[in-house]
Structure 1
Amino acid sequence: MRLTDEQWVLLAPFLTPPEKTTKRGRPRRDDRTLLEGILWVLRTGAQWEKLPRSDYPPKSTCFARFQEWNDRNVFPAVLGQLYELLEDRGLLDLREAFIDGTFSAAKKGARMFGPTKKGKGTKIMIMVDANGTPLAVHTDSASPAEVKLVQDTLDASFGFDFPERLIGDKAYDSDGLDADLTEIGIEMIAPHRKNRKRKTQDGRPLRRYKRRWKVERTIAWLQSFRRVRTRDERKAQHFLGFVQLACILILLRQISG
């Protein structure tokens, strides 16, 4: 997968190598070519050894750089910078946001996964703004209910501003969640569960629920990256790194229009 020059200009400052403490060793391989190799794996879902040698550096070099950037928390830093850029350009709408979770089947050997009716896997929680732009992403075991992962998703926000309203499906209908979000200035909007006795929502706020397709569209964008759709990483942090990279590409798409 190739990056445009405009995209590379935005990403390059965050990929600068740590200072060397010795002059020994081989020269560092080109960051752009290595990143494009990593993005090829993200897009295709192929094993590292399947990287086309005619187009990209060796698998060991690409994986080592991916691991280095992941360990240095480069991807969250990029997401934060892109968030600020979108905000400066007036491309974020925080009057309302949408939250939902999606399931990624985990292959044998993966850590931090949970059993569900769909099998063993990892849950990806995502929050998007009124335009469907990703605001936060969080990965966890697939076992916990989504309502229990809302705070962790908010904590993983790319920026510092919370939306005025957070809209979810019936899974987020919870008095406890309503109270917790009210304390930080967020109104939770979700349809009532069938067994709810005390009504907390009226028809007017729930009209916003009709726009929930925006988070479903963003989830579809995420799942277009095969390395996200099926988890192949043994380490949870590596899988999160790929999910963050997918969000970076989605934000770059929003910036470039």
Structure 2
Amino acid sequence: MKRRHELSDVEWEFVRPLLPASLRGRKRLDDRTVLNGIVWKFRTGVGWRDVPERYGPWGTLHTRFRRWALDGTFDRMLRAAQAKADAAGGVDWLVSVDSTAVRAHQHAAGARKGGSPALGRSRGRLTSKIHLACDALGRPLAFTVTGGNTNDCTQFTAVMDAIRVPRLGPGRPRNRPDHVLGDKGYSSKAIRVWLRQRGVGHTIPERADQIRNRLRRGCRGGRPPTFDKQLYKQRNVVERCFNRLKQWCGIATRYDKTAESYQAAVALASLLMWARR
């Protein structure tokens, strides 16, 4: 019987071929049970020790999650899911980009020296920020995690470079959207030039100060960038994508000390968003 927050049979059949095969000879806890426990932990936001015993020892769940997080298993699974959808023509390459701030719990602080916490102070509290690009159906294509005090525009190229959807057959991964939608936080000359050099169309509104400076300079200010108001209305899909991600309590509030664990949780939630479509 499927319990709340567990994988359905359809989701499990989607995910099962993407999991790494065990090379160890001894018997271990079933992958579906472990993955259900990991999903339950991040959907509810509880501590590892509070995960119900029906999913096995909490230490086993945490160990396997950390192993999969550090060896890139969740990222590879997400790439494979995207490749499967793209091969079937199910990816709409009208890409929207944005970021969302995530409050960090006090348990997220105190990582060992030399770690990568990706935490920043924002309005007196520790926060992280997810910078994300999604397709026109609101499914994550790529994301980065930084401190909450990181400006959106500084992560634009990093997010765009992280879009790499593999081909099921021969050929290089696809990494170029048809068009990019972004809000005023991405209105900069450097970003527009970067997109233009790669032949990617974009719809990004100008900030009020940029409009004033351009008008003040007269003919030397140049022409305003093209802006399609109707097309820009479709940018709300990235907001809906964040809303779906933040239904996971362990993502809406960050409890993980390391950036690798938090990124793995976001990758797992993103993977299931592709599975459910």
Question: TM-score normalised to the size of structure 1?
Answer: 0.90
Equivalent residues in 2 for 1:229-244, closer than 5 Å: 229-244=252-267
- Partners in 1 of 2:118 and 2:80 — Cα distance? 28
Deviation at 1:73, TM superposition (A): 0.6
Is residue 28 of structure 2 the alignment partner of residue 4 of structure 1? no
- Partners in 2 of 1:146 and 1:178 — Cα distance? 14
Is residue 47 of structure 2 the alignment partner of residue 47 of structure 1? yes
After superposition, the Cα gap between the structure-2 partners of 1:210 and 1:99, relative to the gap in structure 1 and judged at 3 Å, is same
**Partner of 1:181 in structure 2?**
195
Aligned length: 247
Deviations 1:41-73 (A, max 9, x none): 1110111111111x2111101000101111221
Q: Percent identity?
A: 29
2:142 partner SS: strand
Aligned residues: CA RMSD:
1.7
- Partners in 1 of 2:152 and 2:46 — Cα distance? 29
**Partner of 1:194 in structure 2?**
208
Deviation at 1:171, TM superposition (A): 0.4
Aligned partners of 2:245 and 2:252 also within 8 Å: yes
Deviation at 1:202, TM superposition (A): 3.4
Deviation at 1:15, TM superposition (A): 2.2
Unmatched 5+ stretches in structure 2: 112-116, 166-173, 215-222
Deviations 1:128-159 (A, max 9, x none): 11222221121111222101101111222251
- Partners in 2 of 1:36 and 1:171 — Cα distance? 38
- Partners in 2 of 1:105 and 1:87 — Cα distance? 34
Amino acid at match of 1:75: F
Aligned partners of 2:139 and 2:270 also within 8 Å: no
Aligned partners of 1:79 and 1:158 also within 8 Å: no
**Partner of 2:98 in structure 1?**
100
- Kindly report structure 1 stretches of 4+ aligned residues shifted beyond 3 Å: none
Identify the range of structure 1 (27-36 vs 158-167) with the bigger mean alpha-carbon deviation. 158-167
Amino acid at match of 2:209: N
Aligned partners of 1:178 and 1:187 also within 8 Å: no
Equivalent residues in 2 for 1:49-68, closer than 5 Å: 49-53=49-53, 55-68=54-67
Unmatched 5+ stretches in structure 1: none
- Partners in 2 of 1:68 and 1:207 — Cα distance? 45
Deviations 1:143-186 (A, max 9, x none): 22101101111222251232121111110100011111222222
Question: TM-score normalised to the size of structure 2?
Answer: 0.84
Aligned partners of 1:15 and 1:69 also within 8 Å: no
Aligned partners of 2:128 and 2:145 also within 8 Å: yes
Choose from 229, 253, 256 the match for 2:276: 253
